[in-house]
Chain A
Amino acid sequence: MINENPTLGRRGLQLDVATVVVDVFVGALKVFLLFFAVWSAVAVIVLQAQGIGLAGESWPGIITGGLVQGAMYGLIALGYSMVYGILGFINFAHGEVFMAGIMTGVFVSAFLVESGMWLNAFPLALLILLMSCVLTSALVAMIIERVAYRRLRGAPRLIPLITSIGVSFFIQYAVLGLFGGQFRRFPDLPPALRQRYRVLGLDIGGAQLLVICVAIVAMVVLWWFVTRSRSGRAIRAVAEDKEIAALMGIDVDRTIVMTFVVGGAMAGVAGTMWALIFRSVIPFTGFLPGIKAFTAAVLGGIGNLPGAMLGGMTLGMVEAVGPTMLTSLRWPIPDLVAYLLGAVSIVAVLWGIRTIRTATVAGATRSITLIVLGTLMAILSFTVLPGYNVIIPGASQLKDMIAFLVLIGVLMIRPVGLLGERLSVEERG
């Protein structure tokens, strides 16, 4: 490493050891995640081609399941994304907003069954169900904003976040105390929704089809609202810069309430979807979907509405396909592939050695990462990897784990999300 090149300085590389180790480790983690992602994806395809993968007819089910789940995440994610875009904190209680809608839906649907409307005039009953979910969720979101968050404008960053955790707890356990912890079930769907339909070559259940349609309509309405309506413009202005928006005569408080209401309404639509697909609810129903929807929002780029939908869809698909991908890791890595990987690693090491001599300090860390990881990878490729496979029993239990791993991977590899963040000036820092 002793070199006359001035970019290296006289005393060799002045690198902070801890920082370099951290960088190498983060690099290793990225490579590790990418490696398994690529391996499992290839394995799925290969196994399918060899005819020993999943039975062909189960794929449409997985894909539509992923679509539906993804649309649901996307709709909830919109609420997170909008609030984060404007106020800059994770509204943990948003999952509970979603749950409150479903919980109301249960009672409303029970009433609808009693009155006979569920059987005789299902479309009308569905509309009433949808409206009640949407209204409850929007109302709950509005109340939360009014009671808890409004007084915290301008407080240090962590305070509203912690408050929202408290709100989330409060709602969960208040609902538990009021309505009990047992599963509350939705009534059976009419036969038309229990049938399966062929759409675009996919075999889709009626309820799923309906739900996808509802989600699309909701998104179109939201898109129209945000881009075309007066309130939507106000929301975008406030999201951009609260002070300037206020100077332009926009009522910031009202706009923030509007944001919560719209976010809550979208969660309500998602709640209706949940009601039709999963057809039962407990007080804790909202928690995990809430966290995952936030993941989806981050995945797509927080503050970015199309991003939230895309993130939701991606996450839904990953979750649906994930377990299959995990089990496909039973496919042994062919020797040739391993050797090829080894060769690539050696090239990476050589490249690292070549660049480290001319690198500026920032580049040097990358070169070191290349050398260290490349060496490691090369050794593995020629010893362990040929014919290596992992057998993971009970892969479907690990569905949530995959979701979180995707989150971690995305935040490490592309911290601004797939479509990029849109934050207000206050939050950009």
Chain B
Amino acid sequence: MFLILFVVAVASGVLGQPQQAAVILGIMGFSVVLGFYNEFRAERAVEELQRRVSIKAIVMRDGKTAEVDSSSIVPGDLLQVYIGDIVAADTRIVDSKELEVNESLLTGESFALEKNAESLGEGRSASTPAEASNMLFMGTVVVRGTGRGIVVSTGRSTAFGSISKSLSRAHPETEFQRGTRRYGNLLLYLTFFLAIGIFGFNALVGHSLLNSLLFALAVAIGIVPEMMPGIVTISLSSGAHKMAERQVLVKRLASIENLGNVDVLCTDKTGTLTEGKIAMEGVLGPDLKSEPTVLPMALVCNVAVVGGDGRVTGNQMDAAVWEYAIKRDLVKSASAFSKVDEVPFDYERRMMSVIARRGGELFIITKGAPESVLKRCGGIALDGGGQRTAMTGELAKDIESDVTSYSREGLRVLAVACRSIEGKGAYSPDDESDLTLVGFLSFTDPPKKDAAQAISKLKLLGVDTKILTGDNEVVARKTCDDIAVEVKRVVTGDDLVPMNWADFKAVAEETTIFARVTPDQKLEVIKALKENGHVVAYMGDGVNDAPALYEADAGISVDSAVDVSKEAADIILLKKDLGVLAAGIEEGRRTFGNTMKYVNMGTSSNFGNMFSAAAASVFLPFLPMLPMQILFMNLLYNVANLTLPTDNVDPEYTKWPRKWDIGFIRNFTLFFGPFSSVYDFLTFGIMLFIFGAPAPLFQTAWFVESFWTEVLIIFVIRTWRVPFFTSRPGKWLTVLTLGCVAFGTVLPFTQLGALMGFVPLPPQFWVLLILMTITYLLLVDAGKVFFYRVCGY
């Protein structure tokens, strides 16, 4: 656009129209400053918001373990990493357990790589991150196991810093971005052919070649929606600000519009629908009746970090075990054990184990999902741990049934089992066999108080809720009952495994609870729903949620989530209040609505005016408007649109999800575009046949009429309501629009106006103009009755 403007300015200057060249350059300069200032302000605001999401890391300094902000890590710190962590600095590994890292950020390779402390070998060095098997690199993600290492470099001196890539992967183009791109392209093609046509016709009917060229280019500039990126950025950043006031942080601006379009919300259960303040309620014997002896083992088979100040961080359930023991002064009970080794947790096994020594005896202690642990138990310690009784099928069934009854009450249960084991160099999941069941731990995690209300509000907004959880179906159903989610169908991860893709998609459509699903299955459910034509949001906070968060159209996480989830998410809820989610969706719809107003404005009025210019230039003996007048009108029009992102949106517009619909925009253009042409041609008739106007008077009259109708139509187009004045526009939109109209009205009477070729208009014209404009606005309003009845809202 600016290139075209520059060409027009240079051509004007070279061909003896220095005044026109100066005005066009002035317009260019003002447009650049205006655009830059607005985008700069919007981007700064977003950066400021993004700084509020901090990534934490666990380090050991001066012999003490502490959780610190990852930006405060320095070389020499001993960094501890767990599954789900984003590595905070380049680190030489000194100790690891089944450690696997995804380095796709650095290498593009999506498979996880095994990492360990072993030397590469004498004289060997690594030329790529993948070859450096004893190094962890900043920005990469721990997908399995644990590790510790010495930080060797931070910030810009890391491998990540040196290649200066963005911390986040490039997200796929959103539906809204695709829509705006297609719309822009459509108008560009149209403009190109229209400009060539206008130039050709004008030249053919004998207008000067220079004026024909400049006029054609000016008309082209008038049609190009050059403010579109600016309006979208301002709309989005204004939406992000409003959402931040409600404690919803938007990391990726484009996701706001996606959030508004969402019609299915998939959510994890823990920490999203529930309070996420998991508390251990009690310990139970292996038959869920006898006296429990399980707590010391649960404290040993545990990855929570207990700080010097007694604060417990890390895995929530493990932390709850420690908090339970600290509160009851039972921590010492675990002191008989010393931890030797660990087999880390993973989502396939749903359990973790430690190797611990008590006295001279070595044990493997396993803790995890009851059904997974029970499968590996050959015995049960019915008398409190001393004597092992064989685990019969009947006994296992009874235990499972009892666990289920706990789940029905909304309690989450973990099983703990152990056996003695021979000492050896390395331990693996294969060692988790023939275990003796020693007891259970029960946890409470009540639903959020506002969850039921929030889910019901989402339903009113046309958003279906589905739950994708690693928990069992009984606990998930209980949560749904508590928060009044209507359960249509429940499937488990095991049910999904044998399904082909077509069945999977059908099941995804009709299921409410997906229980015991793996991270990959969560991802597949999101993909299936998207393929079914839904715009899907996913809300989760765990490691297992990261792939689904990334795949969803709008990934939503919470500030207390693991690093990898926060990184994958587009939107972070800073407050654990689900009510803000509905508010966020409404804000997204308002943002979308205001963007669409600009699009509809551009098509219905601006486009119509330029079309009139093209037709008039063919039959008039002079140009209907001078190129610099067209450009100035375009500038004023853009200024008037600047406050569009702050406009009020009618509540009925936010009632259901919307999508970018290029067919609707096309119909809108075809239907409403010619309405403004009617009044352009009417002005031509009045000026030619009533006023017998010479060129300058004609051009001034059309400038004023065109500008009035082009700008004032926003008050009609901005709402579905008929009559339009029953919807209240935003304060700033009203002030700026009317201010611009006032400026355009007095312009012909000023020195600047004279410089641009305007002349004062006769009083009689103003009366006719007011009447014409009122008729135009009411006529478009009447057209809306037909259009929305036929084309839908």
Chains A and B are bound partners: no
